Amino acid sequence: MAKEVKPTRKNLMAIEDRIELSERGHDTLEKKRDGLIMEFMDILDQAQEVRENVDDQYQRAQRAINMARAMEGDVAVRGAASALKEHPEITSESKNIMGVVVPQIESSKVQKDLDERGYGVLGTSARIDEAAEAYEDLLETIILAAEVETAMKKMLEEIEKTKRRVNALEFKLLPDLYSSQEYIEQKLEEQEREEIFRMKKIKAKKEEEEDADHLTTDEEEETEEPLTADD
């Protein structure tokens, strides 16, 4: 890159400006990356907890439905499940964590009261209630997991992007700029030295010429003087 830059004072100033801007950008991005990592670690802890909850609640829900199928029969459980057509409502909003837009998922009508599950209370049992409740809990946790995992994924992408930018600045752009700056400085110094040398040369030449002129004048004067005396 350095060789592509014209070694002019104007370019040097422009590069120095870019260096200053890039260094500031580098510091800011580093801070952003560190901040994102800290936020990510918090979300990671939350995600691990939510994942464990999903596992536990899935096991609990599976067990509850197995027991309900065993004690009440598959037909009764399927029947109770089909007595409700209404689906839980899920709305998604977004929130901003250090410039990263992550979803905020709100759910409603997941947890239901005994008389909202569709099946009649009089002809069913606590086994079916237990299975329904376990699946409602599981669904709530899955929704939370979706929110946390998406936030984690987006944070991770942003961290990667910021890291790439920091690295690009640190290992590519800034070194190139420094190298261009050094190149231009060297070139300018060289040009300066050349200029000085040239000036010196010119000066010396001028002095030589002047000296030569003086000599010629003196000689001429010396040649003319005896004639005038003899005359």
Partner 1 sequence: MSAARGTANYEYVTSRVRSRRASLFDADDYRKLVRMGPGEIARFMEETEYETEMNALGSRFEGVDLIEYALNRNLAKHFDDLLNWADGALYGYLARYLRKFDAWNVKTTFRGIYSDADPSEIEDDLITAGELSETLLSRLVDAGSIEEAVDLLDGTLFADALDEAYELYEQESLLVPLENAVDRAYYADLMANLPSEPNRAEELYLQFLRAEIDFRNLRNALRISRSGADIDPAEFYIDGGRLFDATTLRQLASNPDELVARVRESVYGDELDATLDALAEADDLIAFEHALDAALLSYSDTLSNRYPLSVCPVLAYVLAKEREVDNVRAIARGREAGLDPEEIETELVIA
- CA 48, distance to chain mean position in Å, is 24
CB-nearer residue toward partner 1: 64 or 184: 64
φ/ψ of 187, rounded to 5, equals: -60, -45
8 forms part of the interface with partner 1 (CB under 8 A): no
51, burial (CB in 10 Å: exposed 0-12, middle 13-18, buried 19+): middle
Could you tell me the smallest distance in angstroms from the CB atom of residue 67 to partner 1?
8
φ/ψ of 63, rounded to 5, equals: -65, -45
Pick the binder of partner 1 from 1, 71, 199, 204 (CB under 8 A): 71
Under 8 Å between Cβ of 140 and 107: yes
Q: Look up residue 15 and give its two tokens.
A: 């590069």
122 forms part of the interface with partner 1 (CB under 8 A): yes
CB-nearer residue toward partner 1: 67 or 143: 67
126 forms part of the interface with partner 1 (CB under 8 A): yes
74 forms part of the interface with partner 1 (CB under 8 A): yes
86 forms part of the interface with partner 1 (CB under 8 A): yes
66 forms part of the interface with partner 1 (CB under 8 A): yes
Q: How many residues bind partner 1 (CB under 8 A)?
A: 32
67 forms part of the interface with partner 1 (CB under 8 A): yes
Pick the binder of partner 1 from 4, 93, 115, 224 (CB under 8 A): 115
Could you tell me the smallest distance in angstroms from the CB atom of residue 132 to partner 1?
10
87 forms part of the interface with partner 1 (CB under 8 A): no
* C-alpha closest to that of 188 among 1, 4, 8, 6: 8
Q: Look up residue 147 and give its two tokens.
A: 């929110």
140 forms part of the interface with partner 1 (CB under 8 A): no
Helix then strand then coil, in percent of the chain rounded to 5, is 80, 10, 15
Task: State how far the Cα of 147 lies from the Cα of 51, in Å rounded to an integer.
Answer: 12
Residues that bind partner 1 (CB under 8 A): 66-67, 69-71, 73-75, 78-80, 82-86, 113-123, 125-127, 129-130
